[in-house]
């Protein structure tokens, strides 16, 4: 993950975002999780889409594709999640929810 300073307007929301992401563990369907992720990530910048990685064996992985690299980096830093490439955030619910 690239370490960059967050924009001051984004920084206050960064600590809240990790707590919001833990609430994803309560949602029942992939569609609900994708919609919640879209709402959480939209403040960082324009999104190309949110995808459920269905080929993953346990189905707990989502991809958030940003229009701009800077937005993806800020979202990765704020959420504690990893980037795939430069514009795609990998949201692994196993890490967030501590699923074995």
Q: Please name each of the domains of the chain with its CATH number.
A: 11-97 (3.30.70)
The answer to whether 58 and 94 are in contact (CB under 8 A) is yes
**pTM score, two decimals?**
0.79
Return the structure tokens found at 42. 């939209």
Q: Strands across the sheet with 88-92, in order?
A: 47-52, 61-66, 88-92, 82-84
- Looking at the predicted structure, is the pLDDT value of residue 60 above 80? yes
pLDDT of the residue at 12: 41
- Judged against a pLDDT cut of 90, whether residue 31 lies above it is answered with yes
**pLDDT averaged over the chain?**
83
Q: Can you tell me the distance from the alpha carbon of 41 to that of 75, in angstroms, rounded to the nearest whole number? A: 7
What mean pLDDT is predicted for residues 3-23? 63
Q: Give residue 11's pLDDT.
A: 43
Find the mean pLDDT for residues 67-82: 94
pLDDT digits (tens, 9 = 90+) for 46-55: 999 999 987 6
Buried b (16+ CB within 10 A) or exposed e, 42-54: eebbebeebebee
Task: Identify the three-state secondary structure at position 30.
Answer: helix
């Amino acid at each position: 993950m690239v370490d960059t300073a967050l924009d001051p307007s984004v920084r206050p929301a960064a600590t809240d975002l990790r707590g919001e992401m833990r609430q994803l563990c309560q949602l029942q369907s992939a569609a609900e999780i994708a919609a919640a992720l879209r709402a959480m990530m939209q403040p960082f910048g324009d999104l190309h889409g949110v995808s459920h990685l269905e080929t993953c064996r346990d189905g707990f992985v989502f991809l958030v594709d940003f229009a701009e690299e800077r937005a993806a980096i800020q979202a990765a830093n704020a959420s504690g999640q990893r980037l795939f490439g430069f514009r795609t955030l990998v949201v692994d619910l196993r890490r967030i929810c501590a699923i074995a």
